[in-house]
Structure 1
């Protein structure tokens, strides 16, 4: 008889007998003995059909047979822990929390079910308790991650070492080389993940299965079929190396004569010490924070699911049909990925080469290109992007990383609310000419002099590259545009809100993390203890599965971090940097303080907290007048934290795929070493290009990042924040953003206390409200965020709610396929079309030229400076 599904993917409930859970060590029953509770299918049917538990029918059917084995006493313990953990978790469904609260407040809810008086609430709580402990409380996790593990599945193999090393080297070379090109070219790890699969399968077919014995360890060139663990381990290695090293900005800025002209920066020893120090400090920090940012179930790391879904698609052994939109969808995840990948690859030729106006679809400004007020509000490039349909280019949606279809709805909605305030504040400041902003473009992240020209920092430096006050007095104070000022304000709000939000809403997560860390510390120094682990109800199945593997102790990560710091200090001390090695110590203090609160926010919302502004602000205040000191403080204060959170994301990937921790540890270290040596080795080659880092550079090697890095280093290091934000200075009032962040969190906390049942207030996230302008503000704008909002609301808000099984099967496959197709297409366009045309990648016609016409191209200003005049304080009066 054919099975009939409803649109949530639910089929009729069948009678399942007692099942056992496999946690990796042994098959065991995580519940108490059978208490004779009848298994009422009618209650389960009602729960499934009512959408009260966010799960597919298959999941609930599989768990139904265990309901009779879970006593009311244990159910209450599990639900109490779940409620405590997820009370303020926007990713956790509110209806379930309300039902949990109702259950916990009613002791009579534990009465035993019987056929005459079925207890629907108790049945629902049992299902939720089993779902959360035997799998994950989040649909996103259950849709992509298997709750079982095969300890004998190959993980760290000869194939992984060869493929991962080669890919790491290629990715490091390409990303490092083209970092300095405008536009840049890069390869995403998704592309490597795609290519690694057929290579791994090929090696399985051709390599001999002969076994070897090395130092008592038996291994084989071909341990069996290419496994999903091998595939993910290669992907993690690529995640490490398919990025551009921060030293790619530092080295040219220090070495080239028209920047700081420091000849020692061309020495390979200095370059490799800087690279090793920067990257391995972050790796050590990531390992030390695992118990807060990787192990907890609440730390889901939304951005990781695209890679997990792609890995799952290639290794899935079953293909369940799912219903949606009135039909049954039978296409496998692998087939779906390949179709969307090809479509994305072909389509990107249009917005990137054939019809570039599809990217910057600023259609309202095309009506009147020279209408400045229209551009201020609606312009996609030079305006604030208030455009209901601003692009037809998926690549435009992700200027800060792959977020589309991975970041949850509440995160984008809160950011959108922040962007509304940002847009209104920017227009008010601009039209009131506050801080002389009306003389400057409204949407820019550059700084300007008192004639409205880009600020030339070299005009305030002496021959040694230090600040010269006399030259400064004869030149100009720096000025920022309206959008940049508002973005800075929200940066400060975001930092204050992050500290307050984590302290108020994540106290339980911090407590659990510290408890786990103390327990680990005791075990490390008291290995003979016979104390058994207590029953920790906060553990999900993935954490229990990972317990079967030998862990990497925290002291090993600590040693890596200390050695990396030592290497960084050696580089500063041995070479004539004129920077105290103590700057490394001061710099590392910052990520140590901010890693956990910022990491918790990112692990839950999918949005990183950018620390570059606070690092520049603090570094410039600590070592004023020394740009080189600021460079290193920023490197270890900001980049170390940034790298550490990337490593945490990779550790979560390994956690979800149940990779042995030591295998992940070894391969991350190896890939990081490959990355550091390759990118350091090509620095002098890059600086050997004719006219490199200038507008006349060959192959487009104009180094936009290094130029911005140099300006930022001088601006914040040489000029210093005190001249801009100090008492009585022009931008001092912007610092009110810090206390405003605390007040914003307190405001929403108070509202939630007054209206505890208001779902909108529960979904409000003050940090994300402030992160909206910080992420999507100047030089970006509303036009980059609006399409993400549309797509996310449609996917998470509509499809997930009405077609749960369909969403669980395909959402993250689309999220992986779209950027992978774009990345490959961009490479083909660059090598096949751009290089032969000396960097020109556009056809000369209206569809490509319209984006460079009128105010969208020039950035019209509201007030103009007459020839020979200036705005602001007169020369010689700058303090």
Structure 2
């Protein structure tokens, strides 16, 4: 039972606990060091506090992150914010609500805390299907409305959840399936709920409040009064009419060399907060970013590879052979499918050298994950998979037997219902995906989810299926852009959602959450987030004039633009035309081979010099992070790496006690303070229609250019096709 009748003795410090013999514990050392081998099954979880805070934070995160998804710097609030803020709020409710079985059954406990965070974790990521809804409405002239939008979002999310339940015996129950990211979360949970007798300095909550207030007040400078601070491209102001200088140093539309940003949302966009990423990972990403953005990209551009100088130096926009912006409507028929005759006259399609090269990086990242995982973790994966088949029940599995498990048919029914409704979505609304395409889209994650889940459970790395899904449907159904992105969404996000849910199930397994309680909060969080995501998206698209254009800054939609470009590249034109033997980009296909082979020499070197820096080289991380440009710009990476150096190297090494106490709290405070300020600023601008007009705000539109470096948009012939 999740709740048991308690007398006043419940409020004493001595609780009835289920525990193991001293020598019985997890066979995994990392788990033993963080997760206790005890449980108190009398702790209440179905409480007013849990539901109130869980629902409130689910709504807040799904709204805020969807709101920011359309902005130039698409920062997001992470569940870490919920994990930190919900504790003092839970303690507040504990103090002010009269005691009762449901409303206030006793001290705010860790199980309630975990469930609140798990519910928020199901809602904080923007639904991937919003990309489809956005590009259909804004670029393809199709509005699938509330009904189609909700069903598309819910089906793409819940199919993965149905798959997660089937995988419990393989990815949740075995002790060998560690899921390392959960260990850090549990450590933070325990810092709140296990009393620390040697604490000095401000409490975490006081520190959070101070940092939140400071960031909230400060963000009004880069967010409203002095917006050039967001992309502070001081070097190009030395000679504003110099095209090359602007291309190299502009932070907004250039390579961002010497540019800086004083805007926290710029730092945390795309790569999340650098305060929660290990320094060795930051260093790998920094090497990849500098190599690609500051060495290879200018070399390709100024060498005029792929006729690069006909186009701006960095953008996800697409172009004709003459350097004009690609008008996709010219090559589409009335059903939004490719008109081959029109394409023969209008094409071929061209990308900037930077954008095309990052596709090669993406190809390499996919195969590099496979090689890296086999070389570095292959033996561990095989060994732990064998152990999982032997039903290696550790103490945590034994302790969980006191709770009623979720019947398998609950998950099966979730999958079957979501899968069945998916056919209605594809045939009732203009998704253009035939029945066999939908079946194939779901078959791909079904085949790959277990091996990839094992990889993630052991290594914390998740190879993505987005490129593979685009490639498969691009060859199977060329000339169908909406079908392509629909196939990609069902094929890619089903696996990603499944493993997100599985990770949360493992978190509940470690923290002894009743499985039916975890099922409930995951279902509710996912269901609610879909409504909030769609409502926020439709509200913004309906109220912001010229949204997803430069005139709507900061609502320029870099992610949606990249998704739209991908729909043209893989859907309208297709991989055969874009990357086939007759294409100028055919050489990028060799990056699959590059990614497959490149980890091998570093593995041999790491084996030969085991105590050197070579053991930290992580080729898949270098590739997969760098492939985020665009929509990310180099300044997002340079400032992220700089902040990571300060917090994750210098402070961690030289101010370790401060870092242990306040690093993660600082990250959450900055994220939430910045996000709340940005939403209020949006309300001020929308309500008053006023923004200070002066040089420090850079003007509006591309003629003025946001960071006062308009020449960054020009091509090698001093023409501005984006102006």
Where do 1:56-205 residues align within 5 Å?
132=29, 135-136=32-33, 142=34, 149-169=39-59, 171-172=61-62, 189=79, 196-197=86-87, 200-201=90-91, 203-205=93-95
Partner of 1:759: 612
- Distance, in Å, in 2 between the alignment partners of 1:247 and 1:615 is 15
2:248 alignment partner, one of 361, 377, 386: 377
Change (3 A) 1:579 1:727: same
In the alignment, is residue 836 of structure 1 matched against residue 683 of structure 2? no
In the alignment, is residue 735 of structure 1 matched against residue 583 of structure 2? no
Partner of 1:415: 285
Residue aligned with 1:635, SS: helix
2:180 alignment partner, one of 300, 314, 328: 300
Partner of 2:140: 259
Partner of 2:572: 718
TM-score (norm 1): 0.71
User: If each structure's helix is expressed as a fraction of its own residues, which one has the higher value?
Assistant: 2
Where do 1:591-606 residues align within 5 Å?
591-595=445-449
1:461 alignment partner, one of 310, 328, 332: 332
1:817 alignment partner, one of 635, 659, 669: 669
Change (3 A) 1:358 1:678: closer
For the 8 Å contact 1:188–1:820, the answer to whether it is kept is no
Deviations 1:354-404 (A, max 9, x none): 3223321222222222322223333322222233x6223222222115331
- Distance, in Å, in 2 between the alignment partners of 1:751 and 1:185 is 37
Where do 1:672-683 residues align within 5 Å?
672-679=526-533
Partner of 2:268: 398
How far apart are 1:476 and its partner, in Å? 2.8
- Over the aligned positions, Cα root-mean-square deviation in angstroms equals 3.9
Where do 1:469-548 residues align within 5 Å?
469-515=340-386, 517-519=388-390
How far apart are 1:763 and its partner, in Å? 0.8
Change (3 A) 1:479 1:756: same
Change (3 A) 1:359 1:851: farther
For the 8 Å contact 1:353–1:843, the answer to whether it is kept is no
- Distance, in Å, in 1 between the alignment partners of 2:460 and 2:213 is 27
Structure 1: stretches of 5+ with no match in the other structure: 1-21, 33-77, 83-131, 137-141, 212-219, 322-328, 521-532, 868-879
Partner of 2:3: none
How far apart are 1:543 and its partner, in Å? 7.0
Partner of 2:11: none
- Distance, in Å, in 2 between the alignment partners of 1:828 and 1:501 is 45
For the 8 Å contact 2:377–2:459, the answer to whether it is kept is no
Q: After the TM superposition, which of the residue ranges 193-202 and 150-159 deviates more from structure 2?
A: 193-202
Change (3 A) 1:224 1:841: farther
Deviations 1:826-855 (A, max 9, x none): 122222x221343x6555233655963664
Deviations 1:783-808 (A, max 9, x none): 32233333434444344345544432
How far apart are 1:459 and its partner, in Å? 0.8
For the 8 Å contact 1:282–1:644, the answer to whether it is kept is yes
Deviations 1:20-79 (A, max 9, x none): xx99632412189xxxxxxxxxxxxxxxxxxxxxxxxxxxxxxxxxxxxxxxxxxxxx9x
Change (3 A) 1:410 1:205: closer
For the 8 Å contact 1:24–1:548, the answer to whether it is kept is no
Q: After the TM superposition, which of the residue ranges 666-675 and 571-580 deviates more from structure 2?
A: 571-580
Partner of 1:72: none
- Distance, in Å, in 1 between the alignment partners of 2:551 and 2:330 is 23
How far apart are 1:740 and its partner, in Å? 0.7
Where do 1:548-697 residues align within 5 Å?
549-552=403-406, 556-575=410-429, 577-595=431-449, 611-651=465-505, 653-655=507-509, 657-679=511-533
For the 8 Å contact 1:283–1:561, the answer to whether it is kept is yes
How far apart are 1:671 and its partner, in Å? 1.7
Partner of 2:696: 846
Change (3 A) 1:581 1:519: farther
For the 8 Å contact 2:231–2:707, the answer to whether it is kept is no
Q: After the TM superposition, which of the residue ranges 709-718 and 446-455 deviates more from structure 2?
A: 709-718
Residue aligned with 1:330, SS: coil
1:284 alignment partner, one of 150, 162, 170: 162
For the 8 Å contact 1:247–1:274, the answer to whether it is kept is yes
How far apart are 1:819 and its partner, in Å? 0.8
Partner of 1:774: 627
Deviations 1:320-368 (A, max 9, x none): 24xxxxxxx5222222222222222222222222322332122222222
Deviations 1:736-764 (A, max 9, x none): 010111110222223234x2434212111
- Distance, in Å, in 2 between the alignment partners of 1:802 and 1:287 is 45
- Distance, in Å, in 1 between the alignment partners of 2:298 and 2:551 is 38
1:862 alignment partner, one of 711, 716, 723: 716
- Distance, in Å, in 2 between the alignment partners of 1:274 and 1:346 is 39
Higher-Rg member (1/2) = 1
In the alignment, is residue 275 of structure 1 matched against residue 153 of structure 2? yes
- Distance, in Å, in 2 between the alignment partners of 1:286 and 1:267 is 27
Change (3 A) 1:348 1:622: same
Partner of 2:321: 450
Residue aligned with 1:441, SS: coil
Partner of 1:241: 123
Residue aligned with 1:383, SS: coil
- Distance, in Å, in 2 between the alignment partners of 1:556 and 1:516 is 27
- Distance, in Å, in 2 between the alignment partners of 1:173 and 1:664 is 22
- Distance, in Å, in 1 between the alignment partners of 2:432 and 2:365 is 34
For the 8 Å contact 1:173–1:678, the answer to whether it is kept is yes
For the 8 Å contact 2:176–2:388, the answer to whether it is kept is no
Partner of 2:310: 439
For the 8 Å contact 1:354–1:843, the answer to whether it is kept is no
